[in-house]
Amino acid sequence: MLTITYFYVYKILPLIFIVFLMTYGHSQEFSNQKDSLAVARVNHYMSKLQLEYKDGNYARHKLYSDSLYTIAKEKNLPKFQILGMVNQAVFHNNSGEQEKSIRLYRDALTLAEDIPEDYRTKIIVLVNLGNVYTNIESHEKAIAIMNEVLSMLDNHEDNPKIRAAAYNGLANNHESLGETETSLSFHLKSKKLGEDIENESIVVTALSNISDTYLRLEEYEKAREHINNALSIPYAQKPTKQRAWLLLNRGIAEQHIGSNTNAITYFIEAKELAVAKGLPEIEMEAYDHLVTAYEKNNDLENKRVAYEKFLSLQNSILENRQSATKMDLKQDIAARDNIIKSKESIITKLLENKNRLLLWSIAIACILGIVSFSFFLNKKKYQRERELLQEQFASLRNNYQYKSDNTILEDVEPSITRTPGYKNSSLTEEDFAKYKALLLHHMTTEKPYLNNELSQSDLANELGISSHHLSEILNSGFNQNFYNFINSYRVLEAQKLMDNDTTKEFKILAFAFDAGFKSKTSFNRVFKNHTGLTPSEYRKKTKS
């Protein structure tokens, strides 16, 4: 026999559904929708849903659920669309179609992700989904969901109706796991909440569940007391699922401490109400207990019929539960696979980014290497050019001597001779020697370098030769460009002036200007490039 096994399956559902309706009320949150006609229709279906479910008209409640879902989806009212889905899922759960119910709840949770600010909608879906998990005996999963609901209530706006539903869900699952004391404490919490807010549905559900606990503990007098208290409440007089459970429990209590005949009467009444309302699990439970009752009366024919009905319903219900469990497991696996794939995708992208970063790092390192090598080569080249410039300047200085009055005299021909192979040369050796001597004579006698605006063309004009020929003479005869050549004479002039300044009254800038430099900056740079010393260092050295 399965006398107690199924008692804890559906008794929370009426409570949850009424909580859901009362929580949302009449669409105050949607009063700003553009389509006022659609909102009016939605409110109409909401009102009808409440009325039909409270009166136990579950088939008509399903019709209004479908209508609510259709109009809400068409008019893009997601909260009411979810509400319609929850109502549909409640109907399928009542009818023993848990697979359909779970699919609807999962789809509703997905839709609720688009309105994350509406935590209440998600809470309602979760608490109802947890109840379905109770039905298919996924107790650990159901407990986890109910605890999540309580946590969300603690973190957001609390709602005693939803909290009572979560307490009932926790109580039923702990009861199924054999944790009777924990179960009873949650039932008592739910009953207290119902009494505080004067909600008959919550109180009746809590009393019915408490009677279940006492039946399991074989404390039949206490169980009957709670059943009678529940049946005395006006709400329990309506032909609802809750009344069917109470009648079934009353029959069980009578079977043990009262009349077997009275027990059969309660079982039959519970069975007929279950058939009328499309509640197969209560119907199955009623037939299960009728088998025992008919056996006590030695009514073998009715026992046989009841047993056949029981087996048929049991097989159908177990098959539906198994199917729902498999489907839920597949969806969990698919969800985990999606999470894994998502993480793998993230890892792949990170690896790709890492590879890109590595390539960029290598490229940057190569560029830095090239730049560094180029800098090194340029530095070496600059050092060689500077050393050559200083050698040329030293040679120039050594090829001149001073009179006592410190005027520069021409000395012997400089040791630097003509560099062969000058491109496009039009000068004969004789002309080249003549122009070179002319240049040296002009530099020592006319001192054109003292003009800080002097250009190559100016100097060529002064010599009476072309600028091209002057460039050839400078490059082939002195291995220098125009500016290095002129600056060499300016540095010589500056040295002469500093050597002649015995009083140290003149500033460095005065020497720079007198020697033909435009600025102190260029003077310092050129002077050091030619001599290896700054003007100040040279002056200090020569005077020490």
Secondary structure (DSSP) of 354-418:
HHHHHHHHHHHHHHHHHHHHHHHHHHHHHHHHHHHHHHHHHHHHHT-EE-TT--EE--SPPS--P
- Are residues 285 and 6 in contact, defined by beta-carbon separation less than 8 angstroms? yes
**Which residue reads 């009166």 in tokens?**
55
Q: What is the pLDDT of residue 455?
A: 93
Contacts of 92 (CB under 8 A, 6+ apart): 98, 100, 101, 104
Q: What is the pLDDT along the chain (544 residues), one digit of tens a residue?
A: 334 344 444 454 444 444 444 444 444 444 444 568 888 888 899 899 988 988 889 999 999 999 999 999 999 999 999 999 999 999 999 888 999 999 999 999 999 998 888 888 999 999 999 999 998 999 999 999 999 999 999 998 889 999 999 999 999 999 999 999 999 999 999 999 999 999 999 999 999 999 999 999 999 999 999 999 999 999 999 999 999 999 999 999 999 998 999 999 999 999 999 999 999 999 999 999 999 999 999 999 999 999 999 999 999 999 998 998 888 888 888 878 888 888 788 888 888 888 888 888 888 888 888 888 887 887 777 777 777 777 778 777 776 644 334 444 344 344 445 565 555 677 888 989 999 999 999 999 999 999 999 999 999 999 999 999 999 999 888 888 999 999 999 999 999 988 887 656 678 888 899 999 999 999 999 999 999 899 989 888 877 6
Helix (H, G, I), strand (E, B) or coil at 441: helix
Predicted structure pTM score: 0.61
Distances (CA, A) of 153 to 13, 42, 203: 19, 27, 20
Q: What is the pLDDT of residue 384?
A: 79
The greatest distance separating any two alpha carbons of the chain, rounded to the nearest whole angstrom, comes to 155
The Cα 334–Cα 340 span in angstroms is 10
CATH class assigned to 13-337: mainly alpha
What local confidence, expressed as pLDDT, does residue 416 receive? 46
At 188 the pLDDT is: 95
The pair of three-digit structure tokens given for residue 171, joined into one six-digit string: 């109580």
Q: Coil, strand, or helix at residue 103?
A: helix
Inter-CA distances, 111 with 28, 33, 107, Å: 20, 19, 6
Tell me the two tokens of residue 204: 């009746």
CB distance 165 to 194 below 8 Å: no
* Residue count of the chain: 544
Q: Are 81 and 111 in contact (CB under 8 A)?
A: yes
Q: What whole-number distance in Å separates Cα of residue 144 and Cα of residue 341?
A: 25
Q: Are 452 and 519 in contact (CB under 8 A)?
A: no
Q: Which pLDDT does position 7 carry in this prediction? A: 41
Q: What are the residue boundaries of the structural domains of the chain, listed by start?
A: 13-337, 401-543
Q: How far apart are CA 506 and CA 498, in angstroms?
A: 9
- Crossing angle for the helix pair 119-135 and 139-155, nearest 10 degrees? 160
Q: What is the distance between the alpha carbons of residues 371 and 352, in angstroms, rounded to a whole number?
A: 28
Report how far residue 346's alpha carbon sits from residue 510's, in angstroms, rounded to the nearest whole number.
71
Q: Cα–Cα distance between 452 and 489 in angstroms, integer?
A: 12
Was domain 401-543 assigned CATH 1.10.10.60? yes
Q: Which residue from 232, 177, 238, 230 is spatially nearest to 208, judged by alpha carbons? A: 230
Cα 30 to chain centroid, rounded: 30
Cα 317 → chain centroid: 43
